[in-house]
Chains A and B, each alone.
Chain A
Amino acid sequence: MAKITYREALNQALSEEIQRDKNVILMGEEVAQFKGSYKVSEGMLENFGSDRIIDTPISEAAFSGLAVGAAMMGMRPVVEFMFWSFCYVAFDQIFNNAASVRYMSGGLINVPIVFRGPANGGTNVGATHSHTPENFAANTPGLKVICPATPADAKGMLKSAIRDNDPVCVMENTILYNMQDEVPEDEDFLIPLGKANILKSGNDMTIIAHGKSVHTSLDVAQTLEEKHGVSVEVLDLRSIRPLDVNAIIKSVKKTNRVLLVEENKPFCGVDAQISFIIQEQAFDYLDAPIKRISAIDSPQAYSKALENVQIPAHDRILAKAMELI
């Protein structure tokens, strides 16, 4: 199997789906001629032409809404946000229109749309460009939310999202774009939404994470195992809504201890909901309080010195894990 980057995996997913279905188009700022602000859509304009790969002005509200309108008519647009942070100026189009039209029309209208782009801090771009809105997208019934953490997941899950008949928010990570791993070349390689993945099996503790924090957690698990003899299970959620509650509960029942790690901000973050679910469904299996690490609760800082502290890093996660033992 070929080793390709997360970025190339996204490109493959988009290209294959655009090739496969005439209704799929990619639209966003700098996606065509510029080849994508993070080069995700490199070569696609040449391959598919300007009808399918569409440069937009800097008008998130208009092109997001346009894509929702087109999706209502049966197209399957993929809208790229240069950063998910920029969706805030298109909030009404995503959170009112895409999410609610099906419901408000009593099921008469579907909105098969994908909103995608990076949603992460850690690159010293300051507060306005570092938002992680997976929690409030998942707080909106009608939207689905996924956070693929590996190149294979990026491909398989984006393809599933494009084929999905509901609006799906795909939250990527600029830091992962260069990550290389094996990715199946199969054009029908699909990873279903809502299926968590045990990346490492263990017995003494479960770390549950999504997005880039999955990789930090794997590093911590290795340290715990090698230096402290603690056997750690690492569960990658992959999908926030739908959520693989069974996988979470099963792992907690097995290890009896759980640490939640996310780069989302803490208040009403994704892991707030997950810890609620664990105490509700696995209370009698907990041998220690649920511990949680999230981004530190200030607006995202610019300075490297501050942001490195803000985002859950190896040592902070390790220290929290040690509290569990």
Chain B
Amino acid sequence: MEGLHHDTILEPEQKNLKKDNDISESSDIASINMIDGSVKDFSQTEVNKNLSGEYKVNLYEQMIRIRRFEERSLRSYQQGHIGGFLHLYIGQEAVAVGSVSVLKENDHIITAYRDHGHALAVGMDFDECMAELYGKKTGCSKGKGGSMHFFAPDKNFWGGHGIVGGQTPLGLGIAYALKYNNKKGACLCFMGDGATNQGPFYESLNLASLWNLPVIYIIENNGYSMGTAESRHSAGDPLARRGDAFDIDWSVSNGHDIYEVRQTISDALARAHENSRPSVLEIITYRYRGHSVADPDQTYRSKEEIEEYKSNKDPLNLFREKLLKEKNITEEQVKEIDLKAKGDADASAEFADASPYPDPAELMDDVYWETDNPKEKKSYGTMFFETPS
């Protein structure tokens, strides 16, 4: 077994970590402090110190809700209600919730196929997401996208993309459009550690830096590209250091601490908003489930490894402990939030189950704008060569 990747890559003796811009001094210190075992308290950094108790509880609730939703979806998958693949985000919740929580009006998000966490964090609701997993008409993509392809452009969420690394140029384009239209915004482009080895990612880094585009590549490093450990898939540690080749600011931080995530993203957003500069942020995290729930774990990691992370670095447990200690939340509230999340997740499964499947005729909808808007159609001729009879 490869061991816990996040313990190995943060050693400063081996890796001469690049110092971030001044703005992100805090996260840099944190990374180094982590190695001594003395954890820096990110709750007191710029972006976190003035948070209300209520706000913090809300962050916690969002994470719990993502987890309960996904646990429920796993049951539905096992009951045969959900087709194909189901890539669960369980263990990584603090990254999506923390990142989204610091976004401003013109900031946008795009991610890969492990997208439920980001979708729920931007405010998509349980019902439309669960129904999409069930392949129902009431799903967010009317049953045409599935687990890997959730979209909510009205919430600045641009998917949900199935091909590893395929979304990295799209994120660049979103940032390009923001800059072209003089919007003070950025695009957070999430990706996994495995995606860092795809060519389009480097092409995108080059353009991002060359053209000063406000795109923030967030490598959610969960240690494995499917079943291949980082030490077996990537040369050069840490992964974010690859941004250095393109003069892009980069950093490595911990994904189990939502405060640290918030601070890291905030710093990068400032670079994007003020200087229209890209960033590469590597956030160390962990997934408890297989690459997809259909994939076994035992071939590449041990149960002990998973258990250790669960007991020591679970982002939900850690945050709950903090909130309890700060007396921002009570045990009853914790239970209440959990019950509500479970109840809503169950209700979404019922909603999805009761929802109708799309009609066969809907196969032909949403392919072309033009065929969906026949009144404004300008072209002639046959667009489809086989349709449902």
Contacts and interface: CB of A to CB of B under 8 A. Distances in A.
Interface of A: 25, 51, 56-57, 59, 61-75, 92-93, 96-97, 101-110, 112, 141-142, 144, 160, 163-166, 190, 192-196, 239, 241-246, 273, 277
A101 to B, nearest CB: 7
Given A56-B207, A166-B370, A193 B180 contact: no
A63 B207 contact: yes
B141 interface: yes
A194 B379 CA distance: 6
Contacts of B142: 106-107
B51 interface: no
Q: Which of B159, B173, B178 has the most CB of A within 10 A?
A: B173
Contacts of A93: 166, 169-170, 200
A69 B166 contact: no
Nearest to A57: B206
A144 B368 contact: yes
A241 B152 CA distance: 29
Interface residues of B, number: 55
Contacts of B166: 65, 92-93, 96-97
B177 A74 contact: yes
Interface string B220-246: 000000000000000000000000000
Contacts of A104: 141, 144-145, 149, 151, 159-160
Interface in B157-208: 158-163, 166, 168-178, 180, 187, 199-200, 203-204, 206-207
A144 to B, nearest CB: 7
Nearest to A167: B368
B199 A57 contact: no
B366 interface: yes
B151 A195 contact: no
19 contacts: A56-B207, A61-B200, A65-B170, A70-B176, A70-B177, A72-B170, A73-B177, A102-B369, A104-B145, A108-B152, A112-B369, A160-B379, A166-B370, A192-B380, A195-B379, A239-B381, A242-B380, A243-B382, A245-B381
B153 to A, nearest CB: 5
Contacts of A239: 379, 381
Contacts of B369: 102, 110, 112, 165-166
Contacts of B370: 164-166
Given A105-B366, A164-B378, 12 more contacts: A61-B169, A61-B203, A62-B207, A64-B169, A69-B110, A72-B174, A96-B163, A104-B149, A106-B139, A107-B372, A108-B141, A246-B381
Contact of A70 (B160, B173, B210): B173
Interface of B: 110, 139-145, 149, 151-153, 158-163, 166, 168-178, 180, 187, 199-200, 203-204, 206-207, 210, 365-370, 372-373, 378-385
Contacts of A56: 207
Nearest to A242: B381
A103 B144 contact: yes
B167 to A, nearest CB: 8
A69 B161 contact: no
A61 B366 contact: no
A226 to B, nearest CB: 33
A164 B200 contact: no
The 8 closest A-B pairs by CB, nearest first: A69-B173, A65-B169, A194-B381, A62-B203, A242-B381, A73-B177, A107-B366, A106-B142
